[in-house]
Structure 1
Amino acid sequence: MSNRPKIFLFADDDPEDQEILEDAIKAIDPEIKLHMVHNGQQAIEYLESCSDPDLPCFIILDYKMPVFNAVEVLERIHYHPRLHPIPKVVWSTSNQPEHVKLCLQKGALEYFVKPMQMSELAEIARRMLDLCENALDKRPQ
């Protein structure tokens, strides 16, 4: 396993949604650092400004955000080859099949519907951590 810090980039315009997912993730792994942004443009600007060692190991995108939505962020990430290996997921209140399909086509590994139950939230957080661990294990040291 890599010794690099586990950094998640979390883009969501709803502070409450950010807080509940952050709490669920940190309950499993308190060492994870979450970098929060509130729209897709901030997500892209953050990613473009990171040096390679400081890139996040995982990107969480709300589907519907101001400026750029998740699909638009995924499209912009496509133009940055150094960002391709970072696992990206979408987390949304929308479960519309066309949203899911488009996000997966644009590079998201998974599409999570924001849960109503805390037990479901813990499951989603665990899955996100597993995806991050898998990506870290594959990164060159």
Structure 2
Amino acid sequence: MASVTGTSISMASFKASLAPSSRTSNLKSVSFPNSGKSFTTLRMQPARFRISCAAKPETVTKVCEIVKKQLALPDDSAVTGESKFAALGADSLDTVEIVMGLEEEFGISVEEDSAQSIATVQDAADLIEKLIENKGA
């Protein structure tokens, strides 16, 4: 039996039946008791929850190189998949130039709506692989 209280859910067993219409948008934590002992409570942070298709490491590496080149960053600059363009000093014009460099390098075309959703190197790499996959289909 599952019970919803405030912003948490407590499970009396692993079988829970929530009505399809129930909403959990305000869910903050989940606890699963097991024979009187509880597992660690999982804390939810909706703003950080996202599903990623995890682009290939070589795609991420290539995007990192293009970002460094477009932003004229030193070779020893730490640019990773989690790097945000804004944190690297990119403004909106720089971001447009990065997208153009990615389009040229990977032979893709990025729609304006998709380009606006790119905030990190990983976002760009994931979008590139999605576009390449769609192009091949």
TM-score (normalizing by structure 2): 0.27
Give the structure with the higher percent strand.
1
TM-score (normalizing by structure 1): 0.27
Q: Of the two, which has the highest radius of gyration?
A: 2
Using CA pairs under 8 Å that are at least 6 residues apart, name the structure with larger relative contact order, 1 or 2: 1
Give the structure with the higher percent helix.
1
